[in-house]
Structure 1
Amino acid sequence: MSVAAGHSQLPFARPNVLDLAPLYEVLRREAPVTPVTTPAGDPAWLVTRFEEVGDLLGDARLGRSHPEPERASRISTAAVSEGPSGNYATEQADHARMRRLLTPAFAARRMRTLTDHIQHLVDGYLDQLAVEHTSTPDGVVDLHAGLAFPLPVAVICRLLGVPASDDAYFSALSQRMADLAIGDDARRAREEFHAYMAGLAESKRGRPGEDVISDLVRAQSADPGYDYDEMIRHCVGLLFAGHETTVNRIGLGVLFLLTRPGPWDALTGDPDGRVNATVEEIMRLGAPGDLGLLRYAHTDVEIADVTIRRGDAVILSVNSANRDPSVYSDAETFRPDRPERTHLGFGRGAHFCIGASLARTELRVVFATLAGRLPGLRLAKELDEFEARTTLTGGVTELPVTW
């Protein structure tokens, strides 16, 4: 099978929510850096092999900003990561400042102090689902609505300082911003989200708390180089990124485990001992979105016999890279006991996910608790019946289970 001439149109059709399009395997082998057309109709380079994706994730010649933003290719019609962001002239300095400000808030030590709170939330959600389980005629409950979705929202809101009373409002805005199917309403949601965050930041300025948004407000007040609009963008980005991918990884992790009895049986037999490896395999193989990480070339880049020109859009397919058979044995198989421990699920280099410790903490508590409390957990419908969310980060719309 050869790669067809011309530009392929993203996204590629997937057989189900767990498996990728077969075309990725062909591209990794024959054209690991290939021209494509984005869902927004613009040209881009798609990178699919582990070696090149890993190299470009850490390459300072690529960035999120663009030398001529008005001419930049767009990746989608959503209002999150759909095009360039940040200031081209100052991107690296701005990013370094953001990492310096946020690293203490997301340090592993602080995440360990959150573990008890996360455990309390998970137990409460499962208690409520147990009540629903006994009160419904068929015993079927939605693990997405009852656990996978509300948990990461509640955790990131607490960490950043969003009032608990605003959780539902915030999560609705976040979903609309990332929706690929609602057109201009996604942009209206982004504007509303920015206005909400600006109001919240101003309230913290007068009465700061022990939370991340208060930290950013204090930093912006003390540093004239830290632009106010940039601070608001950071707040919005943290609230969005801090829960969306974790929501989806919980759902996809449950599907992987409950459609493969061997790993689930192993986890229920030793939840605490097996959970770390299980979470890392979910991060490797779970592929919530159908696109990838968007970058722009800040100078010409030669890679895999291809010249990427300054200003070109580059889509780094972490999903495909994490299934590269030159790196992983039985690459498409869900194997928590596999010998290969590295993956690109949290990125690499300067842009390595600052919330990786938070995501790992939440996932470990969720899956150890599910395995310990509900060893008889099973899906209430077939894998092919699950629908993917129409958001940029994908995932499933519902997760009906019983036990």
Structure 2
Amino acid sequence: MAIKRVPTPAGDEAWLVTGYDQVRALLADRRLGRGHADPDNAPRFVDSVPLGRPHKATQEEENERHAWMRRLLAPSFSARNMESLRPRVRHLVDGLLDDLVALPQPADFHEAVSFPLPVLVICELLGVPYEDRETFRGWSEAMSTLNNPQKSQEGFMCLWTYMGELVARKKKEPGDDVITRLIEGTPPGQDEVVAQLSAGLLFAGHETTVAAIDRGVMLLSLNPGQWDALRENPQNVPDVVEEILRHRSPVAARSDDSGMPRYAMSDIEIEGVRIPAGDLVLLGIGQANRDETRFPDPAAFLPRESNPHLTFGHGPRFCVGAPLARVELTEVFTALVTRFATFGLAVDVAQLTLRAEQLVGGVAELPVRWTAS
């Protein structure tokens, strides 16, 4: 069945929806959101700030807030603007790979490329000083801790305070960056809103892409035939990137009984099941991306002629950062297959250290070996 009741990691109950068609429909359903009439007593997904408790909002307020955020952010993250960044991203990738090959083998690809690239790019876009990366990295990791609510809250407050100070500086010294444009597009007296939104962009703008780059390296290492095929035809990298996005990590630590948390802001009926307003709904993106009715042989890692995965969502809540993530991933893997004859993990995936306590998951390090072309 595509919908069932499951316990959440935080100990409450939720509706888990796993079928592709059902998840896709709910992603576009405006009756689902992050708002709740009684957030203090709402069922929880995890004990971390990013996906912890909902904010207080009616369905109308939630949709108005979301529409305002989209209007504010969409121009800065449009596909055209992100495509114009491609030469800069390519330059950054080349520089990071130059640094990588200067290291003794095996080298940690996570620290050398996967982490710094998305951070460099999002810092430049937002107008955040790159030299502060280790500081906000610590706050981001604390904020996304799953089993320590106090640590998560403290990380969030530190990141929010940092962004508030940055917003105050940019009001005095505007720049050509997203945070300045957020300030200019927000009514006076909304500095805390801008700071919170900017903190969310900084967190989301690097954490998920870091994990996706690492995942791609693992998947290509486990599927050398795909590496060889890309070496022969690098123009197929975009199709492989979509498959990387569709796939879950080979070392995923999460149970299948998880998903993207949303709250029913009105009663919803799906598959003959009534979901009352206020209930927690987990949209099983990973499960939907492995639905055999949409993805024949879903466990296989191969470029697909049609790959309508739901990793970035669907409809009005489609991820605003999707074009940026695609540019970054495409440039990384194009560079790898053109610069290296062989490239891949230096250890078995079972030896990798999982970031099991982190919301985004992923690995703590990624030892790799290579030979130049």
TM-score interval, smaller chain: over 0.9
The yes-or-no answer on 1:312 pairing with 2:295 is no
The one of 248, 272, 292 aligned to 1:286: 248
Opposite residue 367 of structure 2, the aligned amino acid is P
Structure 2 partner of 1:59: 29
Structure 2 partner of 1:330: 297
Structure 2 partner of 1:97: 68
Helix, strand or coil at the partner of 2:210: helix
Taking the aligned partners of 1:60 and 1:378, their CA distance within structure 2 comes to: 43
| Structure 1 portions without partners, runs of 5+ | 1-30, 134-138
Helix, strand or coil at the partner of 2:55: coil
**What whole-Å deviation, never above 9, does each CA across 1:172-224 have from its counterpart, x for those lacking one?**
2111111224441111111111111111001111111110000111122xx25
Taking the aligned partners of 1:249 and 1:121, their CA distance within structure 2 comes to: 17
Helix, strand or coil at the partner of 1:209: coil
Shift of 1:123: 1.1
Check whether the contact 1:76–1:82 (CA below 8 A) recurs between aligned residues.
yes
**What whole-Å deviation, never above 9, does each CA across 1:141-194 have from its counterpart, x for those lacking one?**
010111001111111011001012212212221111112244411111111111
Taking the aligned partners of 2:82 and 2:56, their CA distance within structure 1 comes to: 28
Helix, strand or coil at the partner of 2:342: coil
Moved more, 94-103 or 289-298: 289-298
The yes-or-no answer on 1:368 pairing with 2:331 is no
Check whether the contact 1:289–1:392 (CA below 8 A) recurs between aligned residues.
no
Moved more, 63-72 or 85-94: 85-94
The yes-or-no answer on 1:269 pairing with 2:232 is yes
Taking the aligned partners of 1:70 and 1:379, their CA distance within structure 2 comes to: 45
Structure 1 partner of 2:13: 43
What pairs with 1:184-223 in structure 2 (closer than 5 Å)? 184-220=150-186, 223=187
Distance 1:157 1:86, change over 3 A: farther
Taking the aligned partners of 2:185 and 2:279, their CA distance within structure 1 comes to: 34
The one of 243, 246, 251 aligned to 2:206: 243
Shift of 1:281: 0.6
Helix, strand or coil at the partner of 1:326: coil
TM value normalised by structure 2? 0.94
What pairs with 1:133-144 in structure 2 (closer than 5 Å)? 133=104, 139-144=105-110
Taking the aligned partners of 2:152 and 2:237, their CA distance within structure 1 comes to: 37
Check whether the contact 2:167–2:191 (CA below 8 A) recurs between aligned residues.
no
Distance 1:83 1:183, change over 3 A: closer
Q: Alpha carbon RMSD of aligned pairs, Å?
A: 1.5
Shift of 1:45: 0.8
**What whole-Å deviation, never above 9, does each CA across 1:353-389 have from its counterpart, x for those lacking one?**
0011100000000000011112311211112222321
Structure 2 partner of 1:23: none
The yes-or-no answer on 1:158 pairing with 2:124 is yes
Taking the aligned partners of 1:44 and 1:347, their CA distance within structure 2 comes to: 20
| Structure 2 portions without partners, runs of 5+ | none
Moved more, 358-367 or 376-385: 376-385
Shift of 1:86: 5.9
Moved more, 281-290 or 184-193: 281-290
Check whether the contact 2:264–2:277 (CA below 8 A) recurs between aligned residues.
yes
Structure 2 partner of 1:398: 365
